[in-house]
Structure 1
Amino acid sequence: MLKLTSLFGKSFPVLVLLTLCAIGFYYAGLDNELAYRRSEITAGEYWRLFSGNLLHTNGWHLAMNLAGLWVIILLHQQYYRSLGFALIFILLCWLQGIGLYLFYPGLVGYVGLSGMLHGLFVYGALKDISVGMRSGYLLLVGVIVKVAYEQWFGASEQVTEMIGARVATEAHLVGVVTGILLFACVMSYRALCANKEIKKAE
């Protein structure tokens, strides 16, 4: 346990909780109640904007997304504490659902963490850049190139077959954009707070 905590940092308890929630939702078969479905959201079931991120089409889909979540946190664990990571996760999930609803009216259904994971990956890459790590530029350019390729050529057929559904590449694009927006908002808020502290000190 101590080794895992040292690897994944202070976000480890939240990471475990999210993993258990995703597994629990999958085996509970809650798609009818929680999946992102545009018609139900329009009818007032707004929680689906968030909860659809935690559902998956099959075991492969679940395993790939959870593996992605753990790898991303392993890569950027130094930036997160439990409460901060939980807040970022929640905001990215909401932004993901809202972005899909506002900008992709043709997408009638969606489940999975992949869109949010793209946002989390971009957020971490921008954090790397902000502290002077050049690798952050490589990560950011890499994910942008990947998503741009998907928008033009579509997702891998192998992945589509594995998850048993069309890969919602729209969600990946929304994830990248929301990750950038969230990072910009967080940095602006911190700069504003810093300026207030400076003024108080004066």
Structure 2
Amino acid sequence: MTQFLRKYAFALAASHICIISYLLLPQSNLWMAYDRVLVDSGQWWRLVTANLVHLGGWHTVMNLASLWLISFIFQPLLKQSYWIIWVLLLYCVNILAMHLWTPHIIHYVGMSGALYGLIAACATAELRLGVKISGVLLLIVGIKIFLPQIMGVEEEYDDFLGGAVVEESHIIGFIQGIILGLFWPKQLLNEPALKAILKSKKSES
């Protein structure tokens, strides 16, 4: 139990904050959501906290499920402190990039952009370690992100989430994730996650 808590400390902490912020809606959004005007006035904490508030219940559940899935699969790639650095960096840079380069976006909540960045960073890093299947994963995620730019997002999906999907955050996250995975020092990477999973299965058998 202690090992689990230590290994997934960040995912647990983020989950608790997201659930509490959901229970405190809409007041939590007033203090934590990205708001262009308020960030310009000096409320820079919103570059991070915007990732921890959501449109509603389903949006919260989907983002947290994705965070846990990515953590379970890829966390063996990095030691815990580096994993936290990755996630916080992706949280902050994703919102900051939107603030600088997408002036039409006034308000934003959710961590989906950072999550796309996290999976792109992990897949890119594993590709550098020789795991070719990670390249396939990167391609699939890229198609998932860029396809809505051609096909558009169905209104039913927006209604399901409780608001419009900000596709720009997904694109920015995906690109910054690839950059992070490419330039993170190779000596700071552990063994690829897929190999770690296979090793654990062998040790259990």
Q: TM-score, normalised by structure 2?
A: 0.84
Higher mean C-alpha displacement, 149-158 vs 78-87 = 149-158
Q: Distance in 2 between matches of 1:32 and 1:91?
A: 23
Pick the aligned partner of 1:113 from 111, 114, 117: 111
Cα offsets for 1:147-166 (capped at 9, x unmatched) = 11122223343321211100
Q: Distance in 2 between matches of 1:47 and 1:154?
A: 32
Amino acid in structure 2 at the alignment position of 1:59? G
State the 1:81 CA deviation: 2.5
Pick the aligned partner of 1:131 from 129, 132, 143: 129
For the Cα contact (< 8 Å) 2:55–2:163, is it kept in 1? yes
Pick the aligned partner of 1:39 from 37, 40, 49: 37
Q: Where does structure 2 lack aligned partners over 5 or more consecutive residues?
A: 189-205
Q: Distance in 2 between matches of 1:189 and 1:37?
A: 38
Higher mean C-alpha displacement, 95-104 vs 149-158 = 149-158
State the 1:101 CA deviation: 0.6
State the 1:44 CA deviation: 1.4
**Cα distance change of structure 1 residues 159 and 80 upon mapping to structure 2, 3 Å threshold:** farther
> Which residue is equivalent to 2:62?
64
> Which residue is equivalent to 2:24?
28
Q: Where does structure 1 lack aligned partners over 5 or more consecutive residues?
A: 191-202
> Which residue is equivalent to 2:138?
140
CA RMSD of aligned residues (A): 2.1
Q: Distance in 2 between matches of 1:10 and 1:184?
A: 27
> Which residue is equivalent to 1:13?
9
State the 1:188 CA deviation: 7.5
Cα offsets for 1:100-157 (capped at 9, x unmatched) = 0111100111100100000001011112212211110111111111111122223343
* Percent identity over paired residues: 28
For the Cα contact (< 8 Å) 1:115–1:174, is it kept in 2? yes
**Cα distance change of structure 1 residues 92 and 189 upon mapping to structure 2, 3 Å threshold:** farther
Q: TM-score, normalised by structure 1?
A: 0.85
State the 1:189 CA deviation: 8.9
For the Cα contact (< 8 Å) 1:50–1:97, is it kept in 2? yes
Q: Distance in 2 between matches of 1:36 and 1:153?
A: 27
**Cα distance change of structure 1 residues 189 and 38 upon mapping to structure 2, 3 Å threshold:** farther
Please list, as runs of the form range in 1=range in 2, the aligned pairs for 1:171-190 lying within 5 A after superposition.
171-187=169-185
Q: Distance in 2 between matches of 1:40 and 1:181?
A: 29
**Cα distance change of structure 1 residues 158 and 21 upon mapping to structure 2, 3 Å threshold:** same
Q: Distance in 2 between matches of 1:164 and 1:142?
A: 26
Q: Distance in 2 between matches of 1:142 and 1:26?
A: 31
Please list, as runs of the form range in 1=range in 2, the aligned pairs for 1:162-201 lying within 5 A after superposition.
162-187=160-185
Amino acid in structure 2 at the alignment position of 1:168? V
Q: Distance in 1 between matches of 2:153 and 2:104?
A: 18
Partner SS, residue 22 of structure 2? helix
Higher mean C-alpha displacement, 149-158 vs 118-127 = 149-158
